[in-house]
Amino acid sequence: SQTIHQWPATLVQPVGSPLSLECTVEGTSNPNLYWYRQAAGRGLQLLFYSVGIGQISSEVPQNLSASRPQDRQFILSSKKLLLSDSGFYLCAWSRLADTDTQYFGPGTRLTVL
Amino acid sequence: AQKVTQAQTEISVVEKEDVTLDCVYETRDTTYYLFWYKQPPSGELVFLIRRNSFDEQNEISGRYSWNFQKSTSSFNFTITASQVVDSAVYFCALTSGTYKYIFGTGTRLKVLA
């Protein structure tokens, strides 16, 4: 069966510091991968998605970036965090078809102070 | 443009009551997919159901049931005999492809013992 991992689970960072969140998927090959952000009490916003190694599509312009160095690894980064970057970050995967069900990881709660 | 509306921000029920969570969607596409996810306090989104636009048959899974009506663009979710463990935020989502899910803002369900 497939599993998706995210770390760290929680993170408190000062404004202006860098960020690196990691997501890995096990039990499948060539997954589509996604990064979402959920602000407090709100819905989910798609940030990035990837259909393959090195292929990243950005949905929302911001100071975040994503990379996919390996087939089942997806990384969310920032060079300088802003207060507005605080939120709950969820990684998801799906099979190749773009309408396939997305399955979510446990999430990372980021607080920028 | 596509849109998902979950007008109920928060619902409170007493254990063993039935509760229906509403989801209304907008899309011009003839082929689309609808989803329900559960987000317990731990934060992870748990997939509940996927329905395509050509299948209007209602579905029942244990205490959960879903009513899909294209005529009213609704995909409502009913929990029968609610339990405290059903307390969570429930999200409805829509996709027609292009890898992007459109999520509603969620309905927080509180089941009181």
pLDDT digits over B53-80, tens only?
998 888 889 999 999 999 999 999 999 9
Q: Is B106 on the interface with A (CB under 8 A)?
A: yes
Residue B11, pLDDT score: 97
Q: How far apart are CA A44 and CA B84, in angstroms?
A: 25
Handedness of CA A84, A90, A94, A96 (dihedral sign): positive
Decide if pLDDT at A97 tops 90.
no
Q: What is the mean pLDDT of chain B?
A: 94
Residue A112, pLDDT score: 96
Decide if pLDDT at A10 tops 80.
yes
Decide if pLDDT at A98 tops 80.
no
Say if the Cβ atoms of A98 and B33 lie within 8 Å: no
Q: How far apart are CA B12 and CA B6, in angstroms?
A: 15
Q: Do the beta carbons of residue B92 and residue B34 sit within 8 Å?
A: yes
Q: Do the beta carbons of residue A46 and residue A59 sit within 8 Å?
A: yes
Using only the alpha carbons of chain B, give its radius of gyration: 14
Q: How far apart are CA B88 and CA B111, in angstroms?
A: 9
- Chain A residues whose CB is inside 8 A of the B105 CB are 42-43
Handedness of CA B79, B81, B85, B87 (dihedral sign): positive
Decide if pLDDT at B17 tops 80.
yes
Say if the Cβ atoms of A34 and B106 lie within 8 Å: no
Say if the Cβ atoms of B96 and A99 lie within 8 Å: yes
